[in-house]
A and B are shown apart, each in its own frame.
Chain A
Amino acid sequence: MNRRFDLHVLGWFLVVFGGFLLLPLPFALATDEPGLPWLGSATVAAAVGLGVVLATRTRDRRLHPKDGFLVVSGAWLLASILGALPYVLAGALGWVDAIFETVSGFTTTGSTVITDTTVTLRSILLWRALTQWLGGMGIILFTIAILPLLGIGGMQLFKAEVPGPVDEKLHPRLATTARMLWGIYVGLTAAEWLGLWLLGVSGFEALCHALATMATGGFSTRNQSVGELGSAGVQWLITVFMLLAGTNFVLHFRLLQGRLKDVLKDVELRWFAAIVVGSIVILTASLHRPEVPLADTLLMTSFQTASIVSTTGFVTADFETWPHLAQLVLLLLMLVGGMSGSTAGGIKSLRLVLAFTSLRASIHRAVHPRAVVPVKYHGEVVDDDVVSGVWGFLLAYVLIVLVVTGVVAAYGYDLLTAVSASLTTLGNVGPGIGDVGAYDNFSHFPAVAKLALSFAMLVGRLELFTVLALFSRRFWRH
């Protein structure tokens, strides 16, 4: 491990991050809101960054996979702390709340402690949406560039899945691929912004929602989220873009190449689609009332399904009042999450596919003890490393859910609140059920619970092991 150079990289990250902190400044000045929070925090970030850069100059610029864990976790942590500065400087939130809100932003979760958006500075709301959008951008880079190298949680498989211009492995032209996928990300965001604006949403709110959708974040400028924002058309549009954001960006890229057939053949996409359609059907069956037009019910269930499975977390309905079956569907969707290679969180359908395939192989082996049954994905044999990585990930996921549930429950919250808060933060969804339901927020939690939930968001966003590895003694040993 090259700790000196890791710090050097993080120093440069802070300098760039200082630049990001200036993004809301023109908007703030144009709308007569204070510019100090932005100038102040940008200065702090750039100064600290430059200091670290100068202090850690080194010739040895070699990076090892281990450095990846440190740099990535460090970057998200630093972004969460310095990104909290504007909230504090603007007097909008206290430190703990500010950090919770920023972590929730950069991990594209969307759980919020802001109780009333109508009294919040608009530049702060813009920054909130921006943290999500920048977090989503970071996740795309993390997924294509760093995750395969770290080889954790079965995502080695992703290495071969990510395309170059001619369907080659990605590594040699990392920058090119990142730029292409970012291009898709930016393009889709712009399209949604335009679409919302055309449907009558104000330019500012359309932008904030577009930024939060493509990152599968879920911060809204309204207290009642998208439900308050606009008509059925607006909600359908956001539904579609949430699903697009929860889809593997590599597939968007293939679609742009005109390779529709390859896209439709994608096994993970088929599973994802089946999960989405299945959930909509179950929710519609359990929620539909004869006095309501079917189209309305369908919009409501589709929106909620898309929002939760893509781990965005916008809401248009109070699922607090839903029957238990429907709530269970939502909890399961929180657990599953979107596709690999998207900005969505959760376990991800790729791992689900592999786990099920591996389970089926195990059953086959139980019936025919001498049979050699490999786990296959897209007709190719999946390495045992990958399969055991997937199972390890699932186990770790469940354990963390239990621990975080325990922490929340220890403060006297009911089980549904505790479980759903844990699932929603680890899966980077946003709202839960119970005291963290559709129209509730997270401000009522004590500081320790807020930090525990923030930690869950960070761990979930970085595919568990990137962060967990830092807690292993072996990691720090040479």
Chain B
Amino acid sequence: MKALVVGGGLVGSTLASRLAADGHDVVVVESSRDRLSQLADTLDVQTVQGNGTTVEALEAAGIADCDVLIASTASDEANMVVALIGSSIFHVPKVVARLRNPDHERSFRAIARQLPGDHVCVNPDLAAVEKILSLLPVPGAADVASFLDGKLLIAGFPLPRDSAFSGMLLSHLRLLFPERSVLAVAIRRRDDWFIPHGEDEFREGDLVYFSISPAELDNVLELVGARKAPERRVMVAGATRIGIGVAARLEAAGVPVALIDEDRTRCQEAAGQLERAMVLHGTPTDHELLEDEGVGRASAFVACSDNHQLNVVACLLARRLGAAHTFALVDNPALSGLVGEMGIDAVISPRLLTVGLAAHFVRRGRVRAAAALLEDEVELIEVDLGRGTRLVQGPLGEVGLPRGVLVAALLRDGIVVVPGGGDRAQPGDRAVLISTTERARELDTLVGS
């Protein structure tokens, strides 16, 4: 498949490298020569220098025969122009536009409906808000995504030393949860990712992804040793679009929220948009302010400012002052690598979430923001099973599931079933499958008809 990426910033370049690793032919269009030569040196992609919003530059990059067009410049307007040129003039079958402003997103969708081809908007801010909101109810988790209309949670926990799981065989999970309502679906051990089997064992320091039926969440939290705050109170630092988005959704859910920002105008705007949340004017690293406003009783502290270094510092401070859990927005991959060791629960990178969503769309089509994982090393998909798919041809143990691919759950008549090797998937079921990214291609042969 040939993919054209317009815009070689962090999102564009990361995405290009992911797609190249998947075996696609990737062309990157970028106007800055410096960045372009840097890309050409580090990635196995073709680069074209030019303004991606012009038809000429796109033609020079070979848009005429490309299968996927990804508009990932920093500007919404430019991305819309690129995407619209791609579908209206060149009829590119799959188009991805990265749009941050929800108004632009709505307009784009309205226009795209009139055009041929498959369109998707990926919104980094929205993806980050969704991610933060799914993380908050699962204290201690480093990553959470919800599937099957919220009836299945996939949550990754770092196993601390005192966790009841450490040293346990995976098959013993069956003894604790005989209905298989909790399953270990992926493990990161040091830098390796694998889909575990019954005879594998948990080790301390693992990052374990469980599939959890929401009713069992509290039991899992207890077992992994996560402490749950007695009441939900959230402090959000940074009245950015993400910060306000998180605060708005929390106050709508009845959770007390305080939102801090150092810019008075932004505070006023936020206070205008929010109903009950308290908006505070001050720096998120102001020790006294945080203490006065009760950070010590907060169940979570979410740092969403545009200054990502400040986010890390604010989280560390909030943690020291007693916030039960802290979350920071950090885009810089080098910085986020450090953070896990500092006691920040989860690091959210809006741009990497965007990359994940876009890559997912390129691989298989429709995506939901709620289903994106922070890690792109495992691939989780939710699909409706048709009559002809290989997965429904016999008991799951006999349809030839490759090692490294797991059916985490089936949704049948509104009920979640966690299948064993002897169970059958039926046409009309919705399935959640997981694999490591290297094995992701095999998923196609299983679920494609």
* A interface residue numbers (CB < 8 A to B): 368, 370-374, 376, 379-381
Contacts and interface: CB of A to CB of B under 8 A. Distances in A.
A193 to B, nearest CB: 46
B422 interface: no
A368 B282 CA distance: 12
Nearest to A384: B268
B173 interface: no
A368 B272 contact: no
B105 to A, nearest CB: 23
B272 A370 contact: no
B293 A372 contact: no
Contacts of A374: 268, 271-272
B289 A370 contact: yes
Contacts of A372: 264, 267-268, 270-271, 279-281
Interface of B: 264, 267-268, 270-272, 275, 278-282, 289, 292-293
Given A368-B280, A372-B268, A379-B275, 13 more contacts: A368-B292, A368-B293, A370-B280, A370-B281, A370-B289, A371-B279, A371-B281, A372-B264, A372-B271, A372-B279, A374-B268, A374-B272, A381-B271
B271 A373 contact: yes
Nearest to B259: A372
A376 B271 CA distance: 10
8 contacts: A370-B280, A371-B279, A371-B280, A372-B281, A373-B278, A374-B271, A374-B272, A381-B268
Given A368-B293, A370-B289, A376 B272 contact: yes
Contacts of B278: 368, 371, 373
Contacts of A370: 280-282, 289, 292-293
Nearest to A374: B271
Nearest to B293: A368
Nearest to A364: B278
Interface core residue of B272, B281, B282, B292 (most chain A CB under 10 Å)? B272
A384 to B, nearest CB: 10
Contacts of A368: 278, 280, 292-293
A371 B279 CA distance: 5
A220 to B, nearest CB: 48
Which 7 interchain pairs have the tightest Cβ spacing? Answer: A381-B272, A372-B267, A372-B279, A370-B280, A374-B271, A372-B271, A370-B282
A373 to B, nearest CB: 7
A116 B366 CA distance: 85
Contacts of A381: 268, 271-272
A370 B278 CA distance: 10
Contacts of B268: 372, 374, 381
A282 to B, nearest CB: 32
B235 to A, nearest CB: 13
A368 B279 CA distance: 10
Nearest to A380: B272
Interface core residue of A372, A374, A376 (most chain B CB under 10 Å)? A372
A211 to B, nearest CB: 44
A380 B269 CA distance: 11
A116 B427 CA distance: 94
Contacts of B270: 372
A368 B280 CA distance: 8
Contacts of B271: 372-374, 381
Nearest to B282: A370
Contacts of B279: 371-373
A267 to B, nearest CB: 14
Contacts of A380: 272
Contacts of B267: 372
Contacts of B281: 370-372
Nearest to A376: B272
Contacts of B282: 370
Nearest to A369: B292
Contacts of A371: 278-281
B366 to A, nearest CB: 35
Contacts of B293: 368, 370
A370 B284 CA distance: 12
Contacts of A373: 271, 278-279
Nearest to A361: B271
Contacts of B289: 370
A244 B292 CA distance: 49
Nearest to B261: A372
B342 to A, nearest CB: 27
Interface core residue of A373, A379, A380 (most chain B CB under 10 Å)? A373
B70 to A, nearest CB: 38
A55 B268 CA distance: 53
B279 to A, nearest CB: 4
A76 B264 CA distance: 45
A380 B270 CA distance: 12
